[in-house]
């Protein structure tokens, strides 16, 4: 990695030799970073993470800001208000990504003391945790990337910084511990609002699941939930994650449901090779342009170089369609409806995120061919509705079905339909699944030439190039579900996708009654399983009920049943809902009826709450002035739109530019069109020639959703 | 490809420029070759295949043989007896692979007129189809490999050969058509035995499914069945095949059955990334040695070279076990039982064969860890028994369970158990599935270091390195099933793995009754589906009943029901078994009972016949002199064995050397040990110190199977 090398060289010139330097999976949260280092072979056994935080003090609008760089131990509490007072800086706020890029040429996750150099040192203020100064412990610091880390001692770190000092610019050594005791007394009211980052840490976090709050540090919360709920593990190839049984079982449930439904539509499963020759891959120019920057190439086998590099499928249009041309010889061979469940590879260089953006992922891809456009159009919508149902009926995640704008449609296709999800916590929309009509773009003679005789042409000379669709649903589903329902105790699973729907925990256990209580719990579990419920008794020895409660809450099990001697005496069990925490006793005799009902209620409530959240953040707007403020307050905008590409570019530009991020976590990208909802009825009618596009003032065509998105 | 280049150059030096030269999927039969060329873009629209056959005339044992090379159009009948008489050569027999290698340095599938060169031309006789001589048509000739083809005109081909002529050695132009009419009269009795290759073509092949006989040209028969039954399609990346719904549905049935059974054993599914870093892959030396020559490497993504090449998993031990080390912290975390259904890549350079040896294949791989060896041992056998049941109960294929010799066990494991199948037609054994005990080889400290405290050690200091298993079953299952049951009409599917178990064909249809007959057939199909039978009515317009019969026979549907007006009048349907051809009327009123019974009978009969064939070819031998003749007569040998590796090497050497192949299709490799059957009771008892190893005469330990194998 080039930057790492140059850093090591420049450290060497200061006689500082890192005790180790390692590359690892991209890690954008402290938890993930530590994970990555712990699973990295080259890393020392023991080390401490260094955190680097940049604040922007309040200055006059016209003044050049002087950012404050704080370098501290991972566990040091940095209270910005107290620090500001000490250094005489006003209203410290976390710096925006733009500022970081401008001053240090890095993103926030790659930030490190090494971002300070001779060029920028004089333009910033620096505060260093005094406990680092003389420490001979080993500290991990970012190699200016999320994928590399250097290990040096505290002494070496401070020595590096001191070399940068000039008469005008010196580092401030700060005793943050001392600052902490001063702080509250000085500004008891002002402080809480100022230390957002610290608020993200939940008090008493040792005893509860997730160490950071969903509302405050969403990205860290997300990865923390995924690892603590035992859904994923990090892997030493960047952008790849291990799907552990707790998440893979969700995928199996989705697979089972969707597979049965497409088979009812006459779709058959098949398997095509994962390898594509360059020549075939590059047949459809528009299509390949969409994927080629992300294609992984195999160039060697054993110790032999391949004559020609072979691509790993990013999707299978070009793999399959040469064969469709061969198999479809007559209109009697239509419709052809194939699907495959497989893995695909898109070597993204952006920051990966488990489930949402990974280099290898699992999905299904359906590829169908029809004689007529009408049949293709119908199937596009039939499949999209199955996607909607996967989200709404299985995952309890509301989505809005619609059609993509020309700019956002599938590369090489005719039109794309989509179900669009929304994550209220980040205020970002997410493309949940897409069903494309490819039209005749892939079947035309200069492409794959998939053609049959027109059965209705009496001259016998007419030809029809087939109408094609492709449609895909991926493991992204799981990430959207986690983001939607999870809370500060961890994962919350909708009952229909939970591999354990009910956990039974024995309570009030003593040495004398242990066996009896365990047996009763197993009995109860067995009764529930007979009623078709996925139930498990947690009779593990050596764990307290409290530990078990927490463990299963973290993992999102929808319903807990507590069973103790007192419950048994009353022939009841205490039920505790994961989603609401509501407790209610259930009579043991009616359990086979009440538990399934309760699970269905939980499923319905989860959906209802998520739907209300989505609806409340969907703003119907006809005045441009309200658009950016709505986006900034984490909403999605529905507005009458002209549907012109230039206008869409313009909206992105204007909404991106005008959004001055208030802290580093605010979404900074411009808004793009999400979809033109099929359900136009929910909005006021568009009056042709009268209703104008909210963005450009031309005639509006349809209500369209715009938002910042994943 | 180097050879192709040098050929093109040497042709150029003779002023012959091929009109095209293409590389393609390895094709080892004429059918596959034509397929490969037809799906290859660079190939001309129209061409004819050239066949090159080498015969060895009978000579005195001490004399140097002079092979006869015959170059003819694909469709030209070459009658060896008549040709021998014409050229005055005695008893032409197809030459052995050894002879081909010695004279032409190619295998039979790569043979081509271009194998003739200045070095060997004077040592052979050459006969050329006279109709090629002046032809300006384009002919496809092998580029001395199964993966490349050149296209030249007949005139150019003969001109190439003529340049090689010397006074002593000239080509013979032969009119094979004229020869044909002479031949039978001359030696009416002798001829039929001499033209094996021609016998492989079945008379009237146009009207029946498979153009070659299973018993005569097994390799061509196999690929022909697979393509005609619509199970696979060839693909333009060598060694990769498309699994079409007709074969993939079999895999789905196997998956469903096996998945449910391992879940009962407490195994959970997960998904690990397909990529492995070189460092991790190479951790276990013995293990990686077994795979490294076949590993495919990704070295580039988009247009960027990766810093380090990344391997595609050939199997996932090294992918998974670093994480097992992390997850298993205490004996409470044991047992850990994970499985994944995925694709793996082994870039074999040997001739690929669909299902049996492919570069990418689908399988499941289970990876489990236990506290004790006893638990691991038990699971190895539990899983092996499930594999046995997949073969015997679903695929109706008999297998023999046993343990592998030290030489044949899994690289890096402790011991390997296997179910061994057998293909009577080729006389070759086939490893059907394996369940490995890895022992502590992967968990030891210098390897993946998977360790827990010994719960039974009161000092609290004892450590236990976990005991591990891994086990896998692949799509090879499908190939073995096809080879076992298929016949000269095509595929024969055992009912339990058939996606269509019963097909109903309307007969006696006229313009007047068409709709009624079709409706009745659909009604019948619907009745059967209600009885749990996978039934389909074939009411396609424009196809005769005969066409439909043939179509479904080719595809192996276990049972056909014919329904005509006469049947309806008698309230019956005519059932026709695919496996035996036996016809029997069934009363329509009892169909929901009789059809399921009949299907179970078919399933049982298929297994019974296959079992009898296997048993009849399993020879119990205690005298070395009988071993090679048994192998040569397509049998598997069971013999008392010393279980020493040197002896196994020796057996391979001796059985290979002594087998003078009688024609090009005879298996020529030496025999290896297949397994030491668990069921030793079926053989006479081994008396310690008395019973000797059949091969080397030392004390025998157990009865062991030896055979030539895939």
What are the domain boundaries of chain B?
Answer: 3-182, 222-485, 495-608, 621-707
pLDDT over 60 (residue B297): yes
Instruction: Please indicate whether, in this complex, the C-beta atoms of B299 and A294 are within 8 angstroms of each other.
Output: no
Which among B235, B273, B327 has the least Cβ separation from residue A273?
A: B235
Peptide bond just before B335 cis, omega within 30 deg: yes
B637: alpha, beta or left? (left if phi > 0; alpha if psi -120 to 50):
beta
Which pTM value belongs to this model? 0.75
Residue range A292-341, pLDDT digits in tens: 789 999 999 998 899 899 999 999 999 999 999 999 999 999 999 999 99
CATH fold match for the domains A222-485 and A621-707? no
Q: Can you give the C-alpha Rg of chain B in angstroms?
A: 29
B617-650 exposure pattern, b = at least 16 Cβ within 10 A, e = fewer: bbbebbebebbbebbbebbbbbbbbbbbeebbee
Portion of chain A with pLDDT greater than 90, in percent: 63
Between chain A and chain B, the number of residue pairs with CB atoms below 8 A apart is 152
CB burial string B514-527: b at 16+ within 10 A, e below: eeebbebbbebbee
| DSSP3 helix / strand / coil % (chain A, rounded to 5) | 35, 25, 40
Higher pLDDT, A616 or A180: A616
pLDDT computed for residue A191 by the predictor: 40
Contact A297 B298 (CB under 8 A): yes
- pLDDT tens by residue, B580-618: 999 999 999 999 999 999 999 999 999 999 999 999 999
Res B227: pLDDT: 94
Residue of A nearest to B344 (CA): A274
Alpha carbon A86 to chain centroid distance? Answer: 38
- Which H helix or E strand runs over A35? helix A30-38
Is A269 in Cβ contact with B249 (below 8 Å)? yes
Q: Is the pLDDT of residue A125 over 60?
A: yes
Give the length of chain A.
710
Q: Which two tokens stand for residue B695?
A: 């091969």
Mean pLDDT, rounded, for B554-579: 97
| Confidence (pLDDT) at A1 | 41
How many Å is the maximal CA-CA distance in chain B?
A: 94
Answer yes or no: do B273 and A241 touch at CB < 8 A: yes
Distance, CA of B229 to CA of A360 (rounded, Å)? 34
Nearest CA in chain A to B541: A332
- Nearest-Cα residue of chain B relative to residue A301: B296
Q: At what angle are helices A218-228 and A476-485 packed, to 10 degrees?
A: 110
Among A148, A274, A275, A352, which would you mutate to test the B interface (most chain B Cβ atoms within 10 Å of its Cβ)? A275
Q: In the structure encoding, which two tokens stand for residue A181, read together? A: 């005791």
Q: Distance between CA atoms of B468 and B545, rounded to whole angstroms?
A: 56
The answer to whether the beta carbons of residues A322 and B40 sit under 8 Å apart is: no
For residue B193, the model assigns a pLDDT of 40
Per the CB < 8 A criterion, the answer to whether A252 and A260 are in contact is: no
Contact B322 A236 (CB under 8 A): yes
Distance CA A209, CA A431 (A): 29
Q: How many CA atoms lie within 13 Å of A585's alpha carbon, on the beta-carbon side?
A: 12
Rounded Cα–Cα distance for residues B133 and B71 (Å): 11
The mean-pLDDT minimum among A583-597, A616-630, B32-46 falls in: B32-46
d(C-alpha B357, C-alpha A447), whole Å = 32
Q: At B358, is the pLDDT very low, low, confident or very high (cuts 50, 70, 90)?
A: very high
CB contact set of B76 (below 8 Å; sequence gap of 6+): B51, B129, B131, B176, B177
Residue A26 pLDDT level (bands cut at 50, 70, 90): confident
3-state secondary structure of A516: helix
DSSP string, B356-397: TB-SEEEEEEEEEEESSHHHHHHHHHHHHHHHHHIIIIIS--
Indicate yes or no: CB of B302 within 8 angstroms of CB of A241. Answer: no
Residue B188: predicted pLDDT: 37
Phi/psi at B627 (5° precision):
-65, -55
pLDDT tens per residue across span A539-564: 998 889 999 999 999 999 999 999 99
B248 contacts in chain A (CB < 8 Å): 268-271
**A428-439 and A451-453 strand pairing:** unpaired
pLDDT at B160 exceeding the cut of 50: yes
> Which one of B236, B308, B453 makes the best mutation probe of the A interface by having the most chain A beta carbons within 10 Å?
B236
Closest chain A residue to the Cα of B475, Cα to Cα:
A271
Summarize pLDDT for A455-512 with one digit per residue, the tens.
Answer: 988 887 899 999 999 999 999 999 999 999 999 999 999 999 999 999 999 999 888 9
Statement: A621-707 belongs to CATH 1.10.10.10: no
Q: From the list B274, B323, B345, which residue is nearest A233 (CB)?
A: B323
- CATH assignment of B495-608, among 3.40.50.620, 1.10.3720.10, 3.40.50.800, 3.40.190.10: 3.40.50.800
Give the C-alpha separation, B691 to B693, whole Å.
7
Please tell me the predicted confidence (pLDDT) of residue B427.
94
The pLDDT value recorded for residue B666 is 40
- CATH number listed for the domain at residues B3-182: 3.90.960.10
The 10s digit of each residue's pLDDT in B175-189 is 888 877 664 433 333
Phi, psi of B300 (to 5 degrees): -145, 145
Alpha-carbon distance of B636 to B119, in angstroms, equals 41
A242·B272 Cβ contact <8 A? yes
Q: Residue A177's pLDDT is what?
A: 80
pLDDT in tens, B452-475: 999 988 887 899 999 999 999 999
pLDDT digits (tens, 9 = 90+) for A634-691: 999 999 999 999 999 999 999 885 544 443 334 447 899 999 999 999 999 999 999 9
Among the ranges A551-565, B192-206, B540-554, which has the highest mean pLDDT value? A551-565
Between B218-228 and B30-38, two packed helices, what is the crossing angle to 10 degrees? 40
Write down the pLDDT at residue B253: 98
Q: CA A632, CA B514: separation in Å to the nearest integer?
A: 67
* Alpha carbons A672 and A651: distance in angstroms, whole number: 7
**How far is Cα A132 from Cα A154, in angstroms, rounded to an integer?**
5
Judged by CB atoms closer than 8 Å, whether chains meet at A1 and B307 is answered as yes
Residue B182 is predicted with a pLDDT of 61
| pLDDT number for residue B181 | 67
pLDDT average, residue stretch B111-115: 89
What is residue A463's predicted lDDT score, i.e. its pLDDT?
94
- Per cent of chain B over pLDDT 90 is 62
- Provide the pLDDT confidence category of residue B338 given band limits of 50, 70 and 90: very high
Contact predicate B441/B317, CB 8 Å: no
Q: Which fold has domain B222-485?
A: BirA Bifunctional Protein; domain 2 (3.30.930)
Mean pLDDT of chain B: 89
**Mean pLDDT, residues B254-274 taken together:** 98
Q: Are B26 and B241 in contact (CB under 8 A)?
A: no
pLDDT of amino acid B292 = 79
Question: What is the arithmetic mean of pLDDT over A8-22?
Answer: 80
Closest CA to A481 of A383, A394, A553: A394
Residues of B with Cβ-Cβ distance to A233 under 8 angstroms: 323, 326-327
| Cβ-Cβ contacts under 8 Å, B279 against chain A | 41
pLDDT level of residue A25 (50, 70, 90 thresholds): confident
Whole-number pLDDT of residue A163: 85
Inform me whether the pLDDT recorded for B118 exceeds 90.
no
pLDDT of A381 higher than 90: yes
Residue A266: closest C-alpha in chain B: B245
């Amino acid at each position: 990695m080039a930057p790492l090398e140059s850093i090591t060289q420049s450290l060497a010139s200061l006689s500082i030799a890192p005790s180790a330097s390692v590359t690892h999976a991209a890690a954008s949260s402290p938890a993930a970073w530590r994970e990555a280092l712990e699973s990295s072979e080259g890393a020392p056994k023991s080390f401490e993470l260094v955190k680097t935080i940049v604040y922007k003090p309040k200055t006059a609008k016209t003044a050049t800001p002087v950012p404050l760089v704080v370098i501290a131990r991972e566990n040091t509490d940095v209270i910005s208000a107290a620090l500001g007072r000490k250094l005489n800086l006003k209203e410290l706020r976390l710096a925006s990504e733009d500022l970081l890029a401008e001053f240090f040429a890095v993103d926030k996750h790659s930030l490190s003391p090494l971002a300070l150099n001779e060029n920028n040192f004089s333009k910033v203020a620096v505060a260093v945790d005094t406990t680092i100064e003389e420490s001979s412990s080993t500290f991990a610091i970012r190699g200016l990337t999320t994928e590399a880390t250097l290990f040096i001692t505290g002494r070496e770190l401070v020595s590096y910084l001191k070399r940068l000092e000039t008469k005008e610019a010196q580092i401030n050594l700060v005793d943050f511990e001392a600052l902490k005791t001063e702080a509250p007394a000085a500004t008891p009211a002002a402080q809480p609002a100022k230390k957002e980052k610290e608020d993200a840490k939940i008090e008493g976090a040792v005893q509860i699941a997730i160490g950071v709050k969903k509302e405050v540090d969403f990205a860290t919360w997300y990865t923390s939930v995924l690892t603590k709920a035992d859904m994923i593990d990090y892997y030493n190839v960047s952008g790849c994650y291990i799907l552990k049984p707790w998440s893979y079982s969700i995928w199996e449930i989705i697979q089972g449901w969707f597979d049965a439904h497409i088979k009812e539509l006459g779709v058959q499963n098949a398997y095509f090779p994962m390898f594509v020759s360059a020549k075939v891959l590059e047949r459809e120019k528009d299509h390949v342009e969409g994927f080629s920057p992300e294609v992984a190439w195999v160039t060697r086998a054993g110790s032999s170089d391949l004559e020609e590099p072979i691509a790993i499928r990013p999707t299978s249009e070009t793999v399959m369609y040469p064969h469709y041309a061969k198999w479809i010889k007559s209109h009697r061979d239509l419709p052809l409806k194939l699907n495959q469940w497989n893995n695909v590879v898109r070597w993204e260089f952006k920051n990966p995120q488990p489930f949402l953006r990974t280099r290898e992922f699992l999905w299904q891809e359906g590829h169908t061919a029809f004689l007529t456009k009408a049949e293709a159009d119908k199937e596009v919508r039939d499949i999209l509705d199955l996607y909607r149902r996967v989200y709404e009926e299985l995952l309890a995640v509301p989505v809005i079905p619609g059609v993509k704008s020309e700019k956002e449609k599938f590369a090489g296709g005719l039109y794309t339909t989509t179900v669009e999800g929304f994550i209220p916590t980040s205020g970002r929309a997410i493309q949940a699944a897409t069903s494309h009509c490819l039209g005749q773009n892939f079947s035309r003679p200069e492409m794959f030439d998939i053609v049959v005789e027109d059965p209705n042409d009496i001259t016998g000379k007419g030809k029809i190039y087939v109408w094609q669709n492709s449609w895909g649903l991926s493991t992204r589903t799981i990430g959207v579900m986690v983001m939607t329902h999870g809370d500060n105790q961890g994962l919350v699973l909708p009952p229909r996708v939970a591999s354990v729907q009910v956990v039974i925990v024995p309570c009030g256990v003593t040495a004398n009654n242990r066996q009896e209580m365990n047996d009763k719990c197993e009995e109860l579990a067995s009764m529930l399983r007979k009623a078709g419920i996925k139930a498990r008794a947690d009779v593990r020895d050596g764990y307290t009920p409290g530990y078990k409660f927490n463990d299963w809450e973290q993992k999102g099990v929808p319903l807990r049943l507590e069973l103790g001697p007192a419950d048994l005496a009353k022939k009841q069990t205490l039920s505790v809902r994961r989603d609401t925490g509501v407790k209610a006793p259930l009579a043991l005799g009616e359990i086979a009826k009440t538990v399934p009902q309760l699970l269905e209620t939980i499923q319905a409530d989860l959906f209802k709450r998520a739907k209300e959240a989505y609806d409340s953040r969907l703003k119907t707007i006809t005045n441009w002035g309200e658009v950016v403020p709505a986006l900034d307050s984490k909403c999605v905008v529905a507005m009458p739109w002209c549907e012109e590409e230039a206008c869409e570019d313009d909206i992105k530009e204007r909404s991106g530019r005008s959004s001055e991020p208030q802290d580093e976590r605010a979404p900074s990208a411009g808004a793009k069109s999400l979809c033109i909802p099929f359900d136009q009825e929910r909005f006021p009618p568009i009056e042709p020639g009268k209703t104008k596009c909210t963005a450009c003032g031309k005639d509006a065509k349809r209500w369209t959703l715009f938002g910042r998105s994943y």
